[in-house]
Amino acid sequence: MKPLQHPRAADINIYAVLHALAEPARMQIVRTLVEAGGKPCGSFGIDLSKSTLSAHFKVLREAGIIRQETGPGNSRVNTLRHEDLDTRFPGLLTAVLLAVERTETALPSL
C-alpha cells in the first residue's frame, strides 16, 4: 500500500474538522478510535459499503483528525491524532466527544 498524505498539525483547519465531525458515521469512527486506537478500516461495525467507508476515512484523514498508516498485510492502521488536535485546538476534541456522548446516550424522559 502506498502511504497516505496527512496535513501537518499546524495546517489543520477548524472548518474542515467541524465539517468532518458533523456526520454521524464519521463521528462514530472517531469515538471508536478514542476507546481503542490502531484499528483497521473494516473493523468499526458501521453498516456502510466499503467505498463509502473509505470516503469517510479520507475526509477524516484530510481534516487531520485521524492518521492512516500502512499496517500489516494490506490493511491500514487508523489512529486518532489526539495530541495534534489538542495542540492546535486545545479542548476541542474533548468538548466534542463529551457533547456527542450526551446526545447519543439518549435520556428517556426529558
**Angstrom distances, CA of residue 71 to CA of 3, 55, 77, 106:** 10, 19, 5, 36
Which of 27-35, 52-60, 82-90, 92-100 is the region at the interface with DNA (rule: CB under 7 A)? 52-60
Q: Which does 27 bind (CB under 5 to 8 A by kind): DNA, a second copy, none?
A: a second copy
Q: How many CB atoms lie within 10 A of CB 38?
A: 11
Which lies closer to a second copy via its Cβ, residue 82 or residue 89?
89
Which lies closer to a second copy via its Cβ, residue 27 or residue 41?
27
Least separation in angstroms between residue 95's CB and a second copy is: 4
CA distance 84 to 12: 9
Q: Which three cell numbers stand for residue 77?
A: 492502521
Q: Which does 38 bind (CB under 5 to 8 A by kind): DNA, a second copy, none?
A: none
Q: Assign 53 to helix, strand or coil.
A: helix
Least separation in angstroms between residue 108's CB and DNA is: 26
The DSSP symbol for 66 reads E
Residues that bind DNA (CB under 7 A): 1-2, 4, 19, 23, 25, 40-43, 47-59, 68, 71-76
